[in-house]
């Protein structure tokens, strides 16, 4: 076996240009796949963080039936806005933070025009520990709401634009209590928010919880709790633990359930990437098959000589397979190393997405897991074996007399 290996090594080295070319094909294939996956994972985790950390929370808790009719923002399905209830959520393992919100539908007006709005009353004392990036969406020139604020609001930039109102201006918000009482309040605009989600820009006003409660006469009540978790990977088990602890009157949804759009985007990206990877794999495979076939063709006399000297047909097969493995392994390892370094380098630099006007910048940082890199190498090597199989078999089947005569 050792002799076979040294023969294979020498054979690979003998036609340096062809081996290098084949190795480079594998090298680039692995590097591209590692980087594409890294970028995709980086992009997805950026989107997820934007959703989970800035707005939705990892999990949300509602009164049963709320999410099915969430568009109507049913105020009747409410939960207590008190510390004991919040502590029940915080007592669950992996829960890092929880904050109550009151989502209301109403009309906003500036004295000249009126439009529908969705008000999100947030518990400012706890919102930042649940959605740490929620302040990030506030455009420069405005400021995040503070716990002491009352009768203040952050307006979606397009919503504010429709009224021609800016930071410091005021709008009248009107909403109806569950019992049918109409109420209206003047709120001061403390900031404008900008989001990648058009609905957020056009319809949403963020209010202090007490202001939202006052508007709809629901002191001490919220319609949802946003929950932050320590580890997103344990999301489902945390959701189950919450369900078990809170009983049948309450429903728990993960960000995947609540943001079906984002979930589908990620699914489509992964499918696309899978297709592209497969295509790349086939191209690399074809390259190896070609090299090995050429090698067998060129070395027919040599193979005939080996057979004539009494080398077993099985050893010929093993020799050619080994050559394939060596090229695949070398190219794959180098490609994985280069790919990993590139991903790390780009991640360290970061690709900035500066959504127009927002103070903080969203940065895309590609990321790959060691497991994915190892898997890419394994696929490259087994691909090489697969691709060498047919040429190697053909070489081992040669008739020594015919081969020597050629």
In the complex, the residues that contact another protein under the rule CB under 8 A are 69, 71-72, 107, 109-114, 172, 174, 176-177, 179-186, 214, 217
Helix (H) or strand (E) holding 293: helix 260-298
Burial class (CB in 10 A: 0-12, 13-18, 19+), 41: buried
Q: Tell me how far, at minimum, the Cβ of 139 lies from another protein, in Å.
A: 26
Nearer to another protein, 74 or 324 (CB): 74
Q: In Å, how far from its chain's centre is CA 406?
A: 58
Q: Tell me how far, at minimum, the Cβ of 211 lies from another protein, in Å.
A: 11
Nearer to another protein, 187 or 285 (CB): 187
Q: Tell me how far, at minimum, the Cβ of 261 lies from another protein, in Å.
A: 22
Nearer to another protein, 150 or 337 (CB): 150
CB 135 within 8 A of CB 128: yes
Q: Tell me how far, at minimum, the Cβ of 78 lies from another protein, in Å.
A: 15
Q: Shortest CA distance to 108 belongs to which of 158, 43, 146?
A: 158
Nearer to another protein, 183 or 290 (CB): 183
Q: Shortest CA distance to 356 belongs to which of 222, 146, 195?
A: 195
DSSP string computed for 24-71: HHHHHHHHHHHHHHHHHHHHHHHHHHHHIIIII-SEEEEETTTGGGGG
Nearer to another protein, 15 or 115 (CB): 115
CB 29 within 8 A of CB 380: yes
Q: Tell me how far, at minimum, the Cβ of 48 lies from another protein, in Å.
A: 31
Q: Tell me how far, at minimum, the Cβ of 140 lies from another protein, in Å.
A: 30
Nearer to another protein, 150 or 404 (CB): 150
State the chain's maximal CA–CA distance in angstroms. Answer: 102
């Amino acid at each position: 076996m050792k002799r076979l290996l040294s023969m294979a090594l020498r054979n690979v080295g003998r036609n340096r240009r062809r081996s290098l070319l084949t190795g480079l094909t594998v090298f680039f294939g692995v590097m591209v796949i590692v980087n594409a996956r890294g970028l995709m994972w980086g992009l997805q985790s950026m989107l997820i963080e934007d959703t989970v950390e800035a707005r939705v929370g990892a999990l949300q808790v509602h009164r049963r039936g709320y999410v099915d009719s969430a568009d109507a923002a049913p105020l009747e399905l409410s939960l207590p806005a008190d510390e004991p209830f919040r502590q029940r959520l915080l007592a669950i393992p992996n829960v890092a933070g929880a904050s109550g919100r009151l989502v209301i539908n109403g009309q906003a007006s500036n004295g000249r025009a009126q439009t529908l709005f969705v008000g999100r009353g947030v518990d400012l004392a706890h919102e930042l520990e649940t959605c740490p990036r929620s302040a990030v969406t506030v455009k420069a020139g405005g400021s995040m709401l503070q716990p002491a604020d009352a009768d203040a609001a952050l307006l979606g930039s397009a919503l504010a634009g429709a009224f021609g109102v800016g930071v410091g201006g005021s709008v009248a918000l009107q909403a109806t209590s569950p019992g049918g009482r109409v109420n209206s309040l003047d709120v001061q605009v403390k900031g404008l928010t900008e989001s990648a989600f058009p609905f957020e820009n056009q319809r949403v006003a963020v209010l202090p919880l007490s202001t939202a409660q006052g508007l709809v006469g629901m002191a001490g009540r919220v319609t949802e709790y946003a929950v932050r978790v320590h580890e997103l990977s344990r999301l489902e088990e945390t959701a189950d633990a919450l369900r078990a602890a809170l009983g049948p009157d309450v429903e728990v949804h993960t960000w995947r359930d609540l943001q079906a759009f984002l979930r589908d985007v990620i699914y489509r990206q992964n499918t696309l990437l899978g297709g592209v990877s497969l295509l790349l794999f086939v191209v690399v495979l074809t390259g190896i098959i070609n090299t090995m076939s050429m090698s067998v063709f060129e070395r027919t006399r040599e193979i005939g000589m080996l057979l004539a000297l009494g080398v077993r047909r099985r050893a010929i097969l093993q020799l050619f397979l080994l050559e394939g493995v060596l090229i695949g392994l070398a190219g794959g390892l180098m490609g994985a190393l280069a790919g990993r370094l590139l991903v790390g380098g780009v991640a360290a630099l970061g690709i900035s997405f500066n959504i127009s006007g927002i103070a903080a910048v969203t940065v895309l940082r590609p990321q790959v897991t060691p497991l994915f890199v190892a898997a890419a190498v394994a696929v490259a090597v087994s691909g090489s074996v697969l691709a060498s199989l047919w040429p190697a078999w053909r070489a081992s089947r040669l008739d020594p007399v015919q081969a020597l005569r050629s």
